């Protein structure tokens, strides 16, 4: 794994050769800017659907090992 990761990192190193001064980084995939929407609840009341795949469920909660001593 270590040799593979080093191989990949060595390979992506070639980007350093590209002059990018003053270039605005491209973050998203599309040309359209993000939409705003009303700040309202659009979903909810689906507790059982949310918990349906829980590996460990305790009542209406996800079960996890003890976190706080």
Partner 1 sequence: MHPTDFTLRGAIEALTEGTISAEELTRAHLDAIERLNPRLNAYITVTAEQALEQAKASDERRRQGLAGPLEGVPLAIKDLFCTKGVRTTAGSRILGNFVPPYESTVSANLLRDGAVFLGKANLDEFAMGSSNATSAFGPVENPWSRRNDPETKLVPGGSSGGSAAAVAARLALGATATDTGGSIRQPAAFCGVAGIKPTYGRCSRFGIVAFASSLDQAGPVARTVEDCAILLRSMSGFDPKDSTSADVPVPDFAAACTRSVKGLRIGVPKEYRIEGMPAEIEALWRQGLEWLRDAGAELVEISLPHTKYALPTYYIVAPAEASSNLARYDGVRYGLRVEERGDDLTDLYERTRAAGFGAEVKRRIMIGTYVLSAGYYDAYYLKAQKVRALIKRDFDQAWDKVDAIVTPATPSAAFGMNEKTDDPVTMYLNDVFTVTANLAGLPGLAVPAGLDAQGLPLGLQVIGRAFDEETVFAVGAALERSANFTALPAVRVGA
Q: Rule CB under 8 A: is residue 41 a binding residue for partner 1?
A: no
Assign 57 to helix, strand or coil. strand
Q: Residue 23 or residue 41: which is nearer to partner 1 going by CB?
A: 23
Residue holding tokens 């918990």? 51
Give the separation between CA 53 and CA 57, rounded to whole angstroms: 9
* Joined tokens for residue 36: 């705003």
Considering beta carbons, is residue 12 or 41 the nearer one to partner 1?
A: 12
Beta bridge partners of 58: 61
Q: Is 55 in the site for partner 1 (CB under 8 A)?
A: yes
Per CB under 8 A, residues contacting partner 1 are 1, 4-5, 7-9, 11-16, 18, 20, 23-32, 34-35, 37, 46, 49-50, 52-56, 62, 64-67
């Amino acid at each position: 794994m270590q040799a593979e990761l080093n191989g990949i990192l060595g390979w992506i190193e070639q980007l350093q050769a590209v002059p990018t001064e003053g270039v605005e980084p491209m973050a998203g995939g599309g040309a359209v800017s993000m939409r705003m929407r009303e700040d309202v609840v659009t979903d909810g009341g689906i507790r059982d659907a949310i918990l349906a795949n829980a590996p460990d469920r305790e009542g209406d909660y996800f079960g996890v090992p003890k976190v706080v001593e």
